[in-house]
């Protein structure tokens, strides 16, 4: 899908793009709607600087923090300015360390291409990385997804799976330097 198609879809209030559709169209449309109103793109689609300021980089879809953007060491989290974020709004530093928005496109190696619907539900229900590991980090509002009805979660997953795959290896989260 071209960036223009992404943009058209976004402006139409539908989604960021639909590439393939093993799931029913109605479920994917529902997922696209939910993904949009829940603000998933706020962090998972990088911002780029445009003529009027930061704007979503539609060509990247929901591919998360760009792997080419290697972040320097984060400012020390000291209150009252306790956390900070990258200009792309895809990397965040705070008392928890540094977290990066994940690649939510269905790329097999770097995204959720190999996830099953059950695994996606497990990630949401447990609030844990891959459904088993560390807790999902701020600022991901996992509690909002946990309050979402299961059929809506399935719709969101169906939509995410329907997007074009974007190969983008997001860095792993890092611990606060002071914790070692």
Partner 1 sequence: MRPLSLLLAAVLGSLPGVAGAPYGGVRAPRLLSQTGLYAAPGRLDPRNRAYSPQYPLWSDGAAKARWVRLPDGAAIEAGDEDAWTFPVGTKFWKEFQFHGRKVETRLLWHARPGVWIFASYAWNAAGTDATLVPEEGLPDAAEIAPGLRHTIPGVADCRTCHENGRTEVLGFTALQLSTDRDPGAIHGEPPRPGLLTLEDLVKEGRLRHARADLLARPPRIRAGDPETRALLGYFAANCGACHRMDHPLDGLDLDFRPTGRTPGEPGLASTVNRPSQYTLPGEAPGTTLRIRPGDPDHSAVYSRMASRRPLSQMPPLGSALADREALDRLRAWIARAPAR
CB of 155 to partner 1, least distance (A): 21
Nearer to partner 1, 50 or 133 (CB): 133
Q: Which of 13, 50, 54, 133 binds partner 1 (CB under 8 A)?
A: 133
- Residue 174 binds partner 1, judged by CB under 8 A: yes
Binding-site member from 16, 115, 120, 159 for partner 1 (CB under 8 A): 115
- Stretch near partner 1 under the rule CB under 8 A, chosen from 11-19, 29-37, 52-60, 109-117: 109-117
Q: Does the protein bind partner 1 through residue 122 (CB under 8 A)?
A: yes
Q: How far apart are CA 156 and CA 67, in angstroms?
A: 24
Distance CA 140, CA 110 (A): 19
| CA distances for 42 relative to 31, 38, 61, 141, angstroms | 16, 9, 11, 12
* Of residues 18 and 166, the one with the C-beta less far from partner 1: 166
The phi and psi torsions of 157 (rounded to 5 degrees) equal -65, -40
Instruction: State which of residues 8, 84, 126, 148 lies at the interface with partner 1 (CB under 8 A).
Output: 126
Check whether the bond before 75 is cis (ω within 30° of 0): no
Surface-to-core class of residue 155, CB atoms within 10 Å of its CB (0-12 exposed, 13-18 middle, 19+ buried): buried
Give the count of residues interacting with partner 1 (CB under 8 A).
Answer: 24
In the numeric block, the tokens 């997953």 are attached to 157
Residues contributing to the site for partner 1 (CB under 8 A): 96-97, 109, 114-115, 119, 122, 125-128, 130-135, 137, 172-175, 179-180
């Amino acid at each position: 899908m071209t960036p223009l198609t992404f943009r058209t879809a976004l402006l139409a209030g539908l989604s960021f793009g639909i590439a393939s559709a093993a799931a029913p169209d109605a479920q994917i449309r529902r997922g696209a709607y939910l993904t949009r109103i829940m603000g998933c793109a706020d962090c998972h689609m990088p911002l780029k600087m445009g003529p009027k300021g930061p704007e979503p980089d539609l060509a990247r879809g929901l591919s998360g923090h760009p792997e080419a953007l290697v972040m320097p060491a984060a400012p020390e989290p000291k209150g009252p300015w306790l956390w900070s974020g990258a200009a792309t709004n895809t990397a965040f530093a705070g008392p928890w360390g540094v977290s990066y928005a994940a690649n939510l496109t269905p790329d097999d190696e770097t995204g959720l291409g190999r996830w099953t619907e059950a695994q996606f539900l497990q990630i949401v229900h447990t609030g844990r990385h891959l459904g088993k590991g560390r807790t999902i980090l701020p600022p991901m509002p996992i509690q909002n997804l946990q309050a979402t009805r299961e059929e809506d979660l399935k719709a969101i997953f169906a939509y995410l799976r329907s997007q074009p795959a974007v190969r983008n290896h997001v860095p792993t989260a890092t611990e606060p330097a002071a914790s070692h």
